Structure 1
Amino acid sequence: MSVWVASLNSGSNGNCYYIGNEHEAVLIDAGISCRETEARMARLGLSMRKVSAIFISHEHSDHIRGLTVLAKKYNLPVYITPPTLFRSGLQIDGQLLRTFSAEEAVSVGSLSVIPFSKIHDAAHPHSFTVTCGDLKVGVFTDLGVVCENLISHFQQCHAAFLEANYDDDMLEQGRYPYHLKRRIRGGQGHLSNKQALALFESYRPSFMSHLFLSHLSKDNNCPDLALNLFKSRAATTEVIVASRYEETALYRITAAQTKLPPAKAQYVLF
């Protein structure tokens, strides 16, 4: 059994993550335009026709920017809590709206999506794990702190998208005004490289094959800095930086910890 995963974009300019198997897939967040979502999936050999649902973590624009058009064009169910929908201001066809509750699994074909509460400065924020058979993938971004919910779910993952938003020194010395620096590191904003690394080192399961460093700040982090920091502690886990400018490769997650090359036409199964 395999799960295929990719980040279509990751950062304050837009977030969208693909997780699927040979039958169906889900998107976690839809923060880039419908056109860009389609184009990036096509470059990976993926089809939007395989996507069966979209799950929304919270209402910030970099997580919902492309949602309305994408859901309408492909008639996709949108899983979003009422407080998040209200705060988003989006107008979504009622026939497409679904809600969810923390820690209650949502079945999407042979995939099982479990939302859980997280700490972030939003109306009703959640993170998600997606399970297929014995394989589990987590999407853990926009986190104010490493909470018990996060630790519990992180320990179960074969692969995870984990926020490493900022480097402490770069943020402190950078151009952001004090109120914004305070928001970022104040316990309801974002995880630093140091916080994410502490979670990884303390709670990484031995079977975690891939870690995608996600939601890196454009101004307060450096991809090479974050990558080198984690790679030096990664053991058997492959570490990838999820870009804010382009999609990652398409990765195949298996119990055997297999990675395929970037998807091209001969790998298209979807």
Structure 2
Amino acid sequence: MECATLFSGSSGNCIYVGTGNTKVLVDAGSSGKRIMQALDSINIDIKEIQALLVTHEHIDHIKGLGVLSRRYDIPIYASPKTWQELTCIGKIAEYNQKEFDYGLEIGDLKVDFFKTSHDAIQPVGMVFYHREDQVGIATDTGCITSGMKKALAGANAIFFEANHDEEMLVKGPYPFHLKKRISGDKGHLSNHTAGEALKDMITGNTQHVILSHLSEVNNTPEAAYHSVANTLAQADILDKIALTVAPRYQTHSLIKIKRL
């Protein structure tokens, strides 16, 4: 398996997951043109993408969804309630309107879903399986559930939210109601919370952890990395994985899962 963020953050989110035979995108939160350019940078042709999977309906996750589906005849997969909120993406061919279901298979990828806690109608995280390999994705959640930990534990690559530095959020320019939303149970994870949660998810199978969906105002890549790295180092985990931060506007280097 291979994977990479194309963009990550409130400006737009898109993650590529693929095998030799199957290639999909999780979210499409930028323009179709920028998504195609980002795919080109990792030598993937948009015409190879076989599915678009949606975590939730916020614009930074769906901006390019409609145009990509119409232009390249790509199926869109979303939860039933999320589909009710996707009228803003324009008309989608009925045969390309797919709902998530347990046991979902797309090509040689199997997909499982789990609930996240966010102020969206029916937000989800995902785990992709190919043979013995697993890639897990959890962003846009204000708290960690036991189901989330169970789903992500031991994945070879984990894309995990580290949205804000708690002190930067408190002292930052956002109005109080927005600070409360971000730090609440249906908001976003802090660097500290992310690090503590990852301690319980990383196993001997885990090779990569990619900190994702960083706030541009209330975080920095350096703050996120050092906070999580310190937590994992204290747990004697850091030297066992590759810890990186997803760039906001650029594509993360392509990650290839190694057979253990």
Q: TM-score, normalised by structure 2?
A: 0.94
Asked if 1:237 corresponds to 2:254, the answer is no
Aligned to 1:94: 94
Contact 2:2 2:256 in 1 (8 A): yes
Q: How far apart are the structure 1 equivalents of 2:103 and 2:246?
A: 26
Q: How far apart are the structure 2 equivalents of 1:235 and 1:63?
A: 32
Listed as ranges, the gaps of 5+ residues in structure 2 are: 233-237
Note the 1:224-263 alignment, pairs <5 A: 224-232=222-230, 233=232, 234-256=238-260
Identity of aligned residues (%): 34
Aligned to 1:29: 27
Aligned to 1:143: 141
Contact 2:25 2:53 in 1 (8 A): yes
How far is the alpha carbon of 1:45 from its aligned partner?
Answer: 1.1
Q: How far apart are the structure 1 equivalents of 2:153 and 2:42?
A: 29
How far is the alpha carbon of 1:7 from its aligned partner?
Answer: 0.3
1:213-265 deviation per Cα after TM superposition (whole angstroms, max 9, x unaligned): 00000000010111122334223110111111111111101233xxxxxxxxx
Q: How far apart are the structure 2 equivalents of 1:49 and 1:57?
A: 22
Note the 1:115-126 alignment, pairs <5 A: 115-126=113-124
Asked if 1:184 corresponds to 2:188, the answer is no
Letter matched to residue 240 of structure 2: T
Aligned to 1:220: 218
Q: How far apart are the structure 2 equivalents of 1:106 and 1:76?
A: 16
Aligned to 1:199: 197
| Aligned length in residues | 252
Aligned to 1:55: 53
Find the residue that maps to 1:235 and give its secondary structure: helix
Q: How far apart are the structure 2 equivalents of 1:213 and 1:137?
A: 14
Contact 1:105 1:115 in 2 (8 A): no
Listed as ranges, the gaps of 5+ residues in structure 1 are: 257-270
Q: How far apart are the structure 2 equivalents of 1:9 and 1:63?
A: 10
Q: How far apart are the structure 1 equivalents of 2:3 and 2:245?
A: 13
Letter matched to residue 190 of structure 2: S
Find the residue that maps to 2:206 and give its secondary structure: coil
Aligned to 1:265: none
Find the residue that maps to 2:110 and give its secondary structure: strand
How far is the alpha carbon of 1:186 from its aligned partner?
Answer: 1.0
Name the Cα RMSD after superposition.
1.1
Letter matched to residue 247 of structure 2: S
Contact 2:39 2:45 in 1 (8 A): yes
Contact 2:157 2:208 in 1 (8 A): yes
Aligned to 2:235: none
Asked if 1:82 corresponds to 2:80, the answer is yes
How far is the alpha carbon of 1:207 from its aligned partner?
Answer: 1.5
Letter matched to residue 238 of structure 1: A
Q: How far apart are the structure 2 equivalents of 1:172 and 1:185?
A: 9
Contact 2:81 2:122 in 1 (8 A): yes
